[in-house]
A and B are shown apart, each in its own frame.
Chain A
Amino acid sequence: MLKINGIRKTFLPNTPNEVRALREVSLHIKEGSFTAVIGTNGSGKSTLLNAVAGTFEPDAGSIHLNNLDITRWPEYRRAHLVGRVFQNPFAGTAPGMTIAENIVISMHRGKSRGLGTAVTRSVRDEIADRVRVLKMGLEDRLDNPIGTLSGGQRQALTLLMATWLRPKLLLLDEHTAALDPKSAAKISELTKDIVDHEKLTALMVTHSMQQAVDLPNRIIMMHRGNIVEDVHGDQKTRVRVPDLMAAFDRIAKRDLFDESVATLLARQYG
């Protein structure tokens, strides 16, 4: 389904601020699986997601989606196959435009856009039906600018828009991180419902250990541009938040384990 092979990305190469964000990362994701990517700040988890979304081209390696080599595809072209929800609840929708207009745009994701009227009566009814499922009362406010809605409502709509045309891959970039706890829980639940119902293949970056345990069926842990843990199958069903915390702890310890520690241990170990 999604095959990431040995991608590398260095930001600001050959400068003092050089960041090796991804170092030979390979990841294969099966159709219909829901994968969470967790990691410390600057671990490369968002970079990995952006590499798939096409925000930048990797320095090396390839990305195949649906048996197509999308490595050199520009961002907008990948959107034909990929639905995205961003961390910023304001990033996924056009605030000055109405709910209906926003959704109409997503109804034509990856299709040609002609000179036909965008929001016709029948389209409007279709939108109202789908929006009603969110149980946010938004179906009565289809002509209100999206900018007047709350972050949670906007994120719910972004999620709906990202999955309106069934994407080959759904990318969720910490999509509940900027919301209040109640909205975050609601969006979490909505994500699970949609992914389960539509049997979507999804890749989610998250800060929330609980979310990583609850939603997906596979957890990837990243650190310093590498995948350091890959928990899936039976192992994933057993994993709990403290296990993930312990894994982070191990990573932190390993970081402090430098050559001087090795020398120290060599003298007192045996």
Chain B
Amino acid sequence: MQLAHSKHGKYLLIQAEGRLDASWSDLFSETLLKYIREGEHQVLVDASGLNFLSSAGIRSLLIVHKELLKVGGTFRLVRPTDFVRDTITVTGFGEWLRSDFPGDFPAESGEAGVLAHPDREHYVLAGDSGLTLIRLDKLFEKISTSSGREKKIAFGVNDFGFGVGEAFQGADSADVSGGGEFVAAAGHVALQPPDERGRPDYLIAEKEYIPELKCRQMLKYSGDMSHIFRFKPIDESPANEISKIIDTVFDLTGADAAGFVVLGEIEGLVGASLVHSADMSRRDDFLAWPDVRDRLSFCGERSYAHEQALITGIAARGERREDFTALYPMPSRPDLSVHIHAVVFPYQPLPNGRLELKSSVSRFFGGPPPRAVMHLIDDARPAIGLGESALIRGACWCGPVLNPEVLL
């Protein structure tokens, strides 16, 4: 079997020749899934050269179809041979078949591999909107009784943030584990239990229910995002580093302080997560070597490549850096002060274009459970540093932070 691809306007045309059977079906589905990952969501298969289709072949077509369904794409088999048409009609997938190319199919092909969408495609959502930031920090406060150490915080659909806390289970429970790290976005919360053995837990806002956490430390930014932009690899730099994304955030919002949410395919994440949060009475002790190894877990390598990340973060530049005490300068970009957390999900495709934030986040929380929650770190150590986290492609929603931080 031979596969060739070409780009025609918004369509990706796959020319398949030969037999699509058990020995070729994996190659076929893998190739097409790769194109879908790269953002090709309008897929036409020119089936005029396809002279055989086995059940394994139909399965591979179905895999591609399902993947495209997730991102609202289209999948068509054009000009099928009689054998292929009969086989597909009998199996009930007749909707895939088209006798000819669609009306908007350009006769001339574009250059293969070059995507139709412009770089840094962006949309204004609500130009005059902005975010308000509040901060809670009781983590390192020395308080004799445990009752005053945490505060109940609700994370609704317009709230974003991260911090250390634990799920609120109705009445105040007596046990104080210290909580784990969490990331909250649009009514969804992913929570890493304070024991690295456990998998992250998650809470979802539904109808009347709004996730509430007993927090010991958190940054929450609330309001409507003003912009969304899409990013993807460009030839010179296949990876989009966090700092590059933040630069775009500042460019679009025109602000010197902004909150953002990113959904995207991971190139590599660098970060740490809280393993043991009890007994965090003093910051200096807590972060002191070597005991810090029992409290924080460092990723050790650029991790979770090709999974999807949901990232929430705050960044400030210039004088606005002074407004926020919970932001830290990036060692490789001292002009930027940030605080960023990420949740890792197994890979799922993202639709193209102007994505809606809430439904996009829901899509991830509705799928396979999250794999990890981590605090992203810029590892600029000379020679052995892992660098900063980077994504391959995805979407970023952002908005200016209007106020100086409010300490709860």
- A/B contact in complex, CB under 8 angstroms: yes
Complex partner residue of A256 from B290, B301, B331, CB under 8 angstroms = B301
- Please determine whether B287 and A250 come into contact, CB atoms closer than 8 angstroms: no
Q: Which residues of the other chain, A, contact B152 by a CB distance below 8 angstroms?
A: none
CB neighbors of B among A221-270 (8 A): 243, 246, 250, 252-257, 259-270
**Majority SS of interface residues in chain B?**
loop
Whether A265 touches B298, Cβ cut-off 8 Å, given contacts A260-B384, A270-B283, is yes
Whether A253 touches B300, Cβ cut-off 8 Å, given contacts A259-B289, A265-B377, A269-B375, is yes
Q: How many A-B residue pairs have CB under 8 A?
A: 66
Q: Which residues of the other chain, B, contact A256 by a CB distance below 8 angstroms?
A: 298, 300-301
CA distance A246 to B331 in the complex (A): 30
CB neighbors of A among B61-93 (8 A): none
Q: Which residues of the other chain, A, contact B290 by a CB distance below 8 angstroms?
A: 259, 262
CA distance A257 to B300 in the complex (A): 7
A85-127: CB near B (< 8 Å → 1, else 0) gives: 0000000000000000000000000000000000000000000
**Chain A, residue nearest B384 (CB):** A260
Cβ-closest 5 pairs across A and B: A256-B300, A262-B289, A253-B300, A266-B287, A268-B328
CA distance A257 to B292 in the complex (A): 9
- Please determine whether B298 and A269 come into contact, CB atoms closer than 8 angstroms: no
- Please determine whether B297 and A254 come into contact, CB atoms closer than 8 angstroms: yes
Complex partner residue of B272 from A250, A259, A260, A269, CB under 8 angstroms = A269
Given known contacts A261-B298, A265-B292, what 16 new A-B pairs fall within 8 Å (CB)?
A243-B197, A252-B300, A253-B298, A254-B293, A256-B298, A257-B293, A260-B381, A262-B287, A262-B293, A264-B381, A265-B272, A267-B329, A268-B378, A269-B272, A269-B296, A270-B326
**Majority SS of interface residues in chain A?**
helix
Q: Which residues of the other chain, B, contact A253 by a CB distance below 8 angstroms?
A: 297-300
- Please determine whether B297 and A250 come into contact, CB atoms closer than 8 angstroms: yes
CA distance A264 to B292 in the complex (A): 12
CA distance A5 to B293 in the complex (A): 26
5 contacts between A and B (CB under 8 A): A253-B298, A253-B300, A264-B377, A264-B379, A269-B272
Binding site for A on B (CB under 8 A): 139-140, 196-197, 272, 283, 287-290, 292-293, 296-301, 326, 328-329, 331, 375, 377-381, 384
Complex partner residue of A246 from B197, B378, B379, B384, CB under 8 angstroms = B197
Binding site for B on A (CB under 8 A): 243, 246, 250, 252-257, 259-270
Q: Which residues of the other chain, B, contact A250 by a CB distance below 8 angstroms?
A: 196, 297
A58 to chain B, nearest CB (A): 26
**Chain A, residue nearest B284 (CB):** A266
CA distance A246 to B283 in the complex (A): 28
Q: Which residues of the other chain, B, contact A243 by a CB distance below 8 angstroms?
A: 197
A202 to chain B, nearest CB (A): 27
